[in-house]
Amino acid sequence: MVLIFFLAAVAATSPVAAQGTNLEGFKISVENRENTIHLKGIEGTAWAKLSFATAGEKQYAINQFGVMKLSEARTSKKSNLPSFLFAVIKTEEGVTLRGYEGTAWSSLSFDLAPNESKAINELGMVSNSR
């Protein structure tokens, strides 16, 4: 009985359950260059590269089709691409990502030195190699 309660509590608080989405595969490289964040779609994106200025505390919404204003962000299942949505926020130490749909993480933060890149997928941080 205690085991069932424990498993139910874990499932109810997991990011996947909280976001209520099925996870589909994508892989993206995030790079910090001077005052710009560069994203490279490695798997599961319609775009190859995206970049945007990081001046101020702007948040950019990213989905399988590209970048948009967070207030207009949405996903679409009108293709065979994975459906995901997350925001990119530049911090003093690196980057914070906020997962809204199609990610197991609700928030993912990591250090990102100038000219350094790290890779993410629907589950979190992954190896930068293909």
Q: What is the DSSP letter of 47?
A: -
Residue 15 lies in a domain: no
Residue 2 lies in a domain: no
Give the span between the Cα atoms of 86 and 55, in whole angstroms: 19
Annotate 43-52 with b (16+ C-beta within 10 A) or e (fewer). ebbeeeebeb
Of 118, 101, 57, which Cα lies nearest the Cα of 109? 118
pLDDT one-digit tens code per residue, 37-61 = 999 999 999 999 999 887 765 788 9
Residue 4 lies in a domain: no
For the chain, the average pLDDT equals 80
Range of the domain at 45: 21-126
79/102: higher pLDDT: 102
pLDDT one-digit tens code per residue, 67-80 = 877 776 665 566 67
Residue 40 lies in a domain: yes
Number of structural domains, the chain? 1
Give the span between the Cα atoms of 54 and 89, in whole angstroms: 8
What backbone phi and psi angles, to 5 degrees, belong to 100? -110, -35
In sequence order, the β-bridge partners of residue 34 are none
Q: Which tokens belong to 31?
A: 């790079």
Q: State yes or no: pLDDT of 62 exceeds 70.
A: yes
Residue 8 lies in a domain: no
Residue 12 lies in a domain: no
The CA-to-CA distance between both ends of the chain, in Å, stands at 44
pTM for the model stands at 0.77
Alpha helix (H) ranges present in the chain? 2-13, 15-19
Give the span between the Cα atoms of 82 and 115, in whole angstroms: 28
Residue 99 lies in a domain: yes
Residue 16 lies in a domain: no
Least confident of 4-13, 15-24, 59-68, 115-124: 4-13
